[in-house]
Amino acid sequence: MTPLLEKISSRSAHVVVMGIGYVGLPLVAELARAGFRVTGLDRDPRKVTALAMGESYIDDVPSSDLAPHVKSGRLAASTDPAVLAGADAVIVCVPTPLNKTKEPDMRFIVDATAEIARHQHPGMVIVLESTTYPGTTTEVLVPKLTERGFTLGKDVFVAFSPERVDPGNAVFKTRNTPKVIGGATPACLEHAAALYSAIIEQVVPVSSTETAEMVKLLENTFRAVNIGLVNEVALMSRRLGIDAFEVIRAAATKPFGFMPFYPGPGLGGHCIPIDPLYLSWKLRTLKYQARFIELADAINSSMPEYVVDRAAAALNDAGKAVRGSRVLVYGVAYKRDVTDVRESPAFDVIHELGRRGAAVDYMDPHVPEVHEHGVDLRGVPPDAGFAPYDLVVIVTDHRALPRERLLAEARLILDTRDSLRGVPGDRAKVHTL
């Protein structure tokens, strides 16, 4: 057993989690719970200050999972990369966004790797969790981390393990979601698997870091393509005069060979709209066009504008123009019951309604104000009346949506989520995708 494996096995290893956001913070909590000494390292002083006080800022992590470990001294937080010098294991959970031309923005991974290399010592395991294109670990991390004479699989152990966190999922959390791991060498895999086995019920070893990177992209591409498919089913059904949601719900009664996905106002969140484009970008460098991904992206990206077209049609049926109408967008979070607004289609819907001359407010019990994508608005209170609006557009179907009151008060509704089905009231004013 190597000294590092011994430290992992005895829980005396010091683990630094780089990037304590949606992915990093749950890991910090699990590592501390398992008995490791953990430091959350982040550039954002607000997150570091909160964690240092044992306060969570992520919906799925209760502060009670952090505070006792902070108190016992096992859990710390820092903005100073120098803490890496004392790390036995580093888990990298930094962002992987797209740039303006929808290409991978690798700055955060490159910078994080450089910071680790600056403080590197022999006997460290470094695992990348950020979603990225196949090849990143061996092309970006390994060269940098072996630059100063460290031997891969001996002095430094490098692996990739994709994060699968599903914000808001009450059943599957970090601990009980199987964890795929690929190592740069068999010894790298062994060390990374030892670390994760201490905190996660089931680890799934795969043969390489590229395979592990591709697993994550397959999972998210699967969702993006299936959502693209059902969004197109919605577009086709409208032309055919059929209710797409009814079709999908009926198809979902088939006990085998079908998995329901539902149409909506467009993709949101940090993963599904972005990750497949990492794969298609990589394939373009290899002179291959990832056709399913690009088609799904084209359909999914067109949905917010389609929503506004449907809003215009609903207003038109009521003898009104978009220009001059008062419209309330219900929900700016990208999905039900979360506070996260990243990549939310609500912003495109709000922009486009405004561009066409509507006066737009929003209501979201989970998001009191927004300053994103050029939208700076305070939400109207969740108990505000719906009657003053010419149209209410449901973009996010939070459980808190007052369905019966909405149906009773609103003059006109565009329900992009099929969330009013079965609610008693005047169905004539409800329009769908």
Ligand X SMILES: NC(=O)c1ccc[n+]([C@@H]2O[C@H](COP(=O)([O-])OP(=O)(O)OC[C@H]3O[C@@H](n4cnc5c(N)ncnc54)[C@H](O)[C@@H]3O)[C@@H](O)[C@H]2O)c1
Binding site for ligand X (CB under 6 A): 18-24, 41-44, 47, 93-96, 108, 111-112, 115, 129-131, 163, 165, 167, 270-271
Taking CB atoms within 8 Å and a gap of at least 24, the contacts of 428-433 are: 431/310, 431/313, 431/314, 431/317, 432/243, 432/245, 432/310, 433/234, 433/238, 433/244, 433/263, 433/264, 433/265, 433/306, 433/307, 433/310
CB of 182 to ligand X, least distance (A): 16
The one-letter amino acid at 353: L
Query: How far, in Å, CA of 384 to CA of 365, rounded?
Result: 11
Out of 92, 271, 375, 391, pick the active-site residue. 271
CB of 35 to ligand X, least distance (A): 24
Q: Name the residue whose CB lies closest to ligand X.
A: 21
Nearer to ligand X, 44 or 317 (CB): 44
Cβ–Cβ under 8 Å, residues 336 and 303:
no
CB of 50 to ligand X, least distance (A): 11
Please say if 271 is a catalytic residue.
yes
Nearer to ligand X, 95 or 402 (CB): 95
Nearer to ligand X, 93 or 395 (CB): 93
CB of 286 to ligand X, least distance (A): 22
CB of 372 to ligand X, least distance (A): 13
Task: Report in angstroms the alpha-carbon separations of 191 from 7, 33, 178, 181.
Answer: 11, 20, 17, 10
Q: Which residues pair with 203 in a beta bridge?
A: 179
181: left (phi over 0), alpha (psi -120 to 50) or beta: beta
Query: How far, in Å, CA of 152 to CA of 143, rounded?
Result: 10
Nearer to ligand X, 22 or 330 (CB): 22
Nearer to ligand X, 264 or 269 (CB): 269
Query: How far, in Å, CA of 338 to CA of 313, rounded?
Result: 30
The SS3 of residue 21 is coil
Catalytic residues: 271
